[in-house]
Amino acid sequence: SAASAAGERGGSSDTQPSRESAVREMMRQLEWYFSNNNLDGDKFMQRALVMGDGYLEVGVLSTFTRVQLIARRFPDIDKVVMEAAAKSEFLDTFFDSGRFYIARKRPFAAREAGIASQLRARGERSAAAKVPSRRGSTGEERGGPCKYFYAGYCDRGKRCPLNHSMEFARALEENWLEPESPFGARMLREVVAQLRINPKFATPARRVVSEYQAKLKQQNFKYFAVLDLEGRDEIIEFPVLVFDASTMTEVGRFHRWVRPVELFRKKQVNPQSRAIPFVEVLQDFEGWMSEELNIDLHDPANELTFVTCGDWDLKTQVPKQMLISGARQLPAYFSSWINIKTSFNSFYRSSRPVSGMKGMLKRLNLLNPDGTVEGVHHIGMDDVHNITRVLVHMLEDGFVFQTTSSRKSATRSSRPRSTRPSERPDAYQRQPPDPGHQRQVNAAINSTQSLDPP
């Protein structure tokens, strides 16, 4: 296309004889795309980088004619592009929610400001009013919550357009954990007013309820624990909403900010952050389930299943995070789960299957009048709320949920649990590194396997 061809550098069209030489040629081509010389006249790249705050998704680059020509002998074009970007001293790479992004290491701030003003003059959407796309966001507004800072560190510092107020973080969490609580709602309104940000961030949380039960059928599970992890490379947010299908009521909410191990290494973390390591989050979660809901996660007869929007959370991210955290055993209760997208597409048959949470909400007419989701998209607390709304709608329509995904090698354990650290099972204690463990960690962090979209 004309857009993808814009700014492509000339040169030999002969395919290189090896992957290594193809990667080298790809690196030179990528550096040209992001160079000052190309950006001065490449309108497509200018627009794409402005909209993405300097970051461009690998999937977009893979559609460029020259990129496809260089990698035409290899079926995994995206991986060739990522390998090339990783070798470049000029480019940087990021991963979030199953997507890879590339950017210049040295920002082109002056150019970006000029291009953004041109876009505004033409009445088009400006990146200055939106959150960058490299973190998987879809148009979150300036002043919204910065989940990375709440987890301990934001790599943008003062340049971040999101909110770093810990009072805001605590108010959001308090409001979500106690939906429709007058205290939580009032606290959130006062903080939002003090920060002078969009009043929509002060919208009180509400419980997920069933409006009718006329079509209900007997389910294979009593409890549905809706989980939606957040974070690139490592988990930074762990929210769970538990719904009782037998009474069609919400029975509990759990939330922790998670402190990454490798992602924030050698960084000056936010001292006010209440984030804790992932292994401690699991300990707290197990204790909360046992004490608050009387559910033993290690009991195979507990009638509970986890629900996720895609397989990425439990198939890829949790095992990777356990490895990075130094834990040698994956929790057995994560051995199987329901991918609600799979269930949704099999129940509401359509020529165009949905690929994400927003698509399901739209299909069920559950979006706000302006086409947005309730809360803030890609903040885990709000995402599990919206996923649960889809779950309840499907229950009301008579769908009987079954396990869609599993990890065959995992087996459940009925080992007694305790919330006292001294009595934690050895598998959940941080283990000393063994030879080769750091290589495994690096491989996990740099994994380029195919992942589900957010």
Distance between CA 120 and CA 137 in Å, rounded? Answer: 21
List all residues 6 or more positions away from 329 whose beta carbon is below 8 Å from its beta carbon: 322, 427, 428
At 24, give phi and psi (nearest 5°): -65, -45
List all residues 6 or more positions away from 228 whose beta carbon is below 8 Å from its beta carbon: 239, 308, 309, 313, 380, 383, 384, 387
Query: Could you please report the per-residue DSSP string of 236-284?
Result: -EEEEEEEETTTTEEEEEEEEEB--SSTTTTS---TT---B-HHHHHHH
Q: How many CB atoms lie under 10 A from the CB of residue 348?
A: 16
298 is catalytic: no
DSSP letter at 313 equals I
89 is catalytic: no
Among the options 25, 112, 230, 234, which is catalytic?
A: 230
Q: Which residues pair with 305 in a beta bridge?
A: 224
* Structure-block tokens of residue 443: 């491989």
CB burial of residue 134 (10 Å; 0-12, 13-18, 19+) = buried
CA distances from 176 to 206, 307, 373 (A): 8, 19, 15
At 205, give phi and psi (nearest 5°): -70, 155
Query: Could you please report the per-residue DSSP string of 147-172?
Result: HHHHHT--TTGGG--SB--HHHHHHH
Among the options 164, 255, 377, 378, which is catalytic?
A: 378
Catalytic residues: 230, 378
